[in-house]
Every structure is written in structure tokens, then in C-alpha cells.
Amino acid sequence: MDRSILVPTRKSRTEMLSFIEATINGILMGGLYGFIAVSLSLIFGVAKIVNFAHGAFLMVAMFLVYWILVLLKIDPYVSAVLAAVFLFFFGYFFQNVFIEPILRREKETAPLTVILLTSGLMLVLENVALLLFGADYRMVKTSYTGKVWDIGGLLIVQPRLIGFILSLFLIFLTEIYLRKTNLGRAIRATSQDREAARLMGIDDYKVYKVVFGIGSTMLGFAASFLVPFYFIHPAIGELFVLKSFVIVVLGGLGSISGAFLAGIIVGLIESLGAQFINSAMVESLIFIIFIACLVVRPTGLLGKQRE
């Protein structure tokens, strides 16, 4: 469970204040969820690849940032760049070595083989991490871990706010990249119609590799934003990957703004639910919303209706 939600509460504070605080914390955490979901959405929306190992990638990135901090004493916000670069090549390589041969072999656009393959890789990555690092929950200590800003009695966890702002900024950059650069346009073209894009001379397999790389890069950043205030564990990816799929579907496949908005909604449900209902029941509520959304409105909140 999400232990980071436990923000100190004082009995003297009014119900209203704690409501506002839960809302703010929900939005901040939701922004990070949204950011992670955007990275999944890119891969899912463009390459139609269901990457079950996405959470495991995040876990790899988190451990990378963690060890860089512990061994080399480099601050997570600095090593973010290192993690991002490493994850780009990790994702690119992953797509190149494991997924591309299957995509070339099978004619379907979203073969189940790929889902199974990525679940297999998830098992391998998670359990190798378990073997190497053990099942302990790790937390880092930085000068700003646990620091809060007190704004008129409202407590806001600093690293959360920083993570939120940086996530927002990076999503904005991604959006510009997709709209303004040639490769970005090629990515969007491939996502809309792979065959047509190929006829226009776009190397669709290259696009897939790049998209996989970019999606993984974002995870590298996300990991650096999480490490200062979140626990680290070999199975942490599972916590995020299911939520990310829920968010991607809720926001509409391939829609970046949709994924971000849905991320905030899920963050809000989670933090308000944990405060006022019961955090475990909220977890199942999110899945119920997910199934309902798939069945009733498969295009998501902001997705375009297909003809």
C-alpha cells in the first residue's frame, strides 16, 4: 500500500483543512501517476505494445537512482539525467532484441505474444532485483526528504510538489517534441495509421524503438522524482503498472493530456479515499472504474470516438 500518503495529522486541525490537504496531495501524486501513465500511453498508443514490464522498468530506474545516491552521493534530481539516458538505451534495446522479432513475425497489430513476453520479462526483472537487493523496503535520506511547506496550516510535502512540477514540464516538452520535430511527427503518423505511415517512407520499426526509448526515458525521470519520498522495493513496479494501465484507458488511448488528467483523478480518488473510506477498498474501486470504463466508454475521457 501507499505508505507515503500518511501525512501527519493533528487532532486540532479541522476536517476542512485535512480535506484540502488530501486533495492537494492527491493531485500531486496523481501528477506523477499521470506522468508514468503518459510514458506507458506513448508505447501503448503508438506501438500498440502492452508492456507489462513497464513497472519493472520503473523499478530498475528507481534502484539505479538509489544506488547512485547511496554509493556516489549524487542527488536524485541530478542523477535523473543519467537514469533517463540509461533507460532510453534500456528501452531501445529491449524493443530491438525482444519485441521487434515478434512484431515482424506476426501480422496482428497487438499480438498476445507480446503481452506474454513482457509479463515474462517482468517476472525476470522483478525477481532478479529481489535476488540482488532483497525484499527490504528502502528509503533514502536526502536533505529534503520529509520536508514540508507549511502554507497557512496546509502541509505540502516538498519532493512531491517538485516531482509534480517537473513532471508537468516534461509532459509539456514531450508534447512539443511530438508536434514540432520530424521524428515526433513520424511517431504521431505511425500511431494514427501504421500502413499509411510506412507508405510515406517512415521506418515504422525505428519509430517503435524510439517510442520505446522515450517512454523508458520518462520512467528514468519519474524514478528520480519518486526516490526522494517513496519507498523502493523489487515489486514496486506492480503497484504502478496496473494503475498506469487504468489511467491510460481512463484517459483515452494515446491521449497525453487525457492520461495526465486521468492520473490526477486516480490520485485524488486514492488520497481522498484513503482519508475518508479505506485505502484497500479504494484500490478495488479503481479497478471497478477501470472495467466500467472499458465497457461503457472504451475511448476514455478525452479520447476521440472512432467511427
Partner 1 sequence: MARKPILPCVALLAAILFPIFVRDPYFLHAAIMTLLFGYLASSWNIIGGLAGQHSFGHSAFFGIGAYTSTLLLLYLNVPPLLGMIAGGLLAAAMSIGIGYPCFKLRGPYFALSTLAFTEIFRVVVTTTEEVGSINLKGAAGILIPLRKGNSFVAFQFVEKAYYYYIILGMLLLILLIYSLIEKSRWGLYLAAIRDNEEAARSIGINTTFYKMLALFISAFFGATAGTFYGQFLLYIEPILFSSALGIEILLIAIVGGAGTLMGPFIGSLILTPISELTRTYLGGTYAGVQLIIYGGVLVAVMMFAPQGIVPHVAKRYRALLKGGRRPR
Residue closer to partner 1 by CB (options 149, 287) is 287
Of these, 222, 246, 256, 269, which contacts partner 1 (CB under 8 A)?
Answer: 246
From the number of C-beta atoms within 10 Å of its C-beta (0-12, 13-18, 19+), residue 114 rates as buried
Identify the H or E element spanning 227: none
The window from 5-13, 97-105, 158-166, 167-175 that contacts partner 1 (CB under 8 A) reads 97-105
Site for partner 1 contains 165 (CB under 8 A): no
Q: Cβ 169 to partner 1, closest distance in Å?
A: 30
Q: Which three cell numbers, joined as nine digits, stand for 124?
A: 525476470
Under rule CB under 8 A, which residues in 42-71 are in contact with partner 1?
A: 50
Q: Is 156 helix (H, G, I), strand (E, B) or coil?
A: strand
CA distance 233 to 176: 34
Of these, 7, 17, 20, 102, which contacts partner 1 (CB under 8 A)?
Answer: 102
User: Cell 501504421 sits at which residue?
Assistant: 194
Q: Find the angle CA(177)-CA(182)-CA(187) to the nearest 5 degrees.
A: 70
Site for partner 1 contains 278 (CB under 8 A): yes
Q: Exposed e or buried b for every residue in 190-227, given b needs 16+ CB within 10 A?
A: bbeebeebeeeebebbebbbbbbbbbbbbbbbbbbbbb
Identify the H or E element spanning 148: strand 148-151
Of these, 112, 176, 196, 277, which contacts partner 1 (CB under 8 A)?
Answer: 112
Of these, 116, 176, 200, 277, which contacts partner 1 (CB under 8 A)?
Answer: 116
Of these, 110, 148, 154, 168, which contacts partner 1 (CB under 8 A)?
Answer: 110
Of these, 242, 272, 301, 302, which contacts partner 1 (CB under 8 A)?
Answer: 242
The residues that touch partner 1, with contacts defined as CB under 8 A, are 50, 98, 101-102, 105-106, 110, 112-117, 119-124, 126-128, 130-131, 135, 242, 245-246, 249, 278, 280-281, 283-284, 287-288, 290-292, 294-295, 298
